[in-house]
Amino acid sequence: MAQCQRCGEGIVQPVTGRPRRFCSDRCRRAHHQRAKTLRRQVDRFLDLAAANAEPYSSYWASLAADAQAELSKIT
Ligand SMILES: [Zn+2]
């Protein structure tokens, strides 16, 4: 059985139409909200990495990399 991308619940797929990725609208919305937040964080952290000198630059760059990694895991 397919699993919800957010909570891991089993999903009963509809017989016709697009396969579902989420068990509920609640999970679908929460997932998109999280992805949006992460995308914003990546941009913000990269800006901060560019705007700051070391060692802060590396610090922000590593936060950007973390957010990017989580984003690519969930999208
Ligand atoms: Zn779910």
Tens digit of pLDDT for each residue in 24-66?
999 999 999 999 999 999 999 999 999 999 999 999 999 999 9
In our burial notation (b when 16+ CB lie closer than 10 A, e otherwise), range 5-34 reads bbeeeebeeeeeeeeeebbeeebbeebeee
Distance 75 CA to ligand 1 centre (A): 15
Distance 62 CA to ligand 1 centre (A): 30
pLDDT at residue 1, as a whole number: 78
Distance 53 CA to ligand 1 centre (A): 42
Q: Where are the domains of the chain?
A: 25-75
Q: Average pLDDT of 4-25?
A: 93
Q: Average pLDDT of 20-25?
A: 94
